[in-house]
Amino acid sequence: MKYKIFIILTTISLNLISIKGQTQTEIFKGKLYNKEYKVSIILNFHDPTIKIPGQEDIFGELAGYLTHESDPRLWLILDATTKGNTASLSIINDYGSEDLQATLTAITDSTYTFVQKEGSTIKFAVNRKWQKLPKQLIFHKMH
């Protein structure tokens, strides 16, 4: 029993060290993916230079966006304020008709929790039906 507790505490400590060892740029930069809902987040919160594919002239450079494998609609991350391992996000859909506030928290160097707070619910068209995303999702960093 003591051995199991030691292993758990060591694992948690190593995860915390790996997050602290990364710069904020590395934590909030790259591509995150949720396999269950087939949703990706493309992000660069430190230096918002993400361009929307095929719409670079319309939206310019942003902090990031959410996309679904089978739906061309996007949810744009207009603003991301980071504090430690958590980012507060302002998000709109690509029509500008719906918006929301959310947080993205780095749990480990490759696992993130995305939580929709206030405003609209993120949804994508899947098999010609709207699929609303749960208020909280786990994402994994793609390497």
At residue 58, the pLDDT reads 87
Contact 87, 101 (CB under 8 A): no
At residue 18, the pLDDT reads 46
At residue 4, the pLDDT reads 45
Question: What values do phi and psi take at 31, rounded to 5?
Answer: -130, 130
CA distance 25 to 47: 8
Contact 121, 111 (CB under 8 A): no
Half-sphere exposure of 43 (CA within 13 A, CB side): 33
CA distance 15 to 33: 19
Q: What is the pLDDT of residues 55-112, one digit of tens each?
A: 888 889 999 999 999 999 999 999 999 999 999 999 999 999 999 999 999 999 899 9
Lowest average pLDDT, out of 20-24, 53-57, 120-124, goes to 20-24
CB atoms within 10 A of CB 122: 23
**Residue reference for tokens 């206030």:** 118
Q: What is the pLDDT of residues 29-52, one digit of tens each?
A: 999 999 999 999 999 999 999 998
Between 141 and 25, residue with greater pLDDT? 141
pTM (two decimals):
0.81
H-state helical runs in 28-127 = 56-59
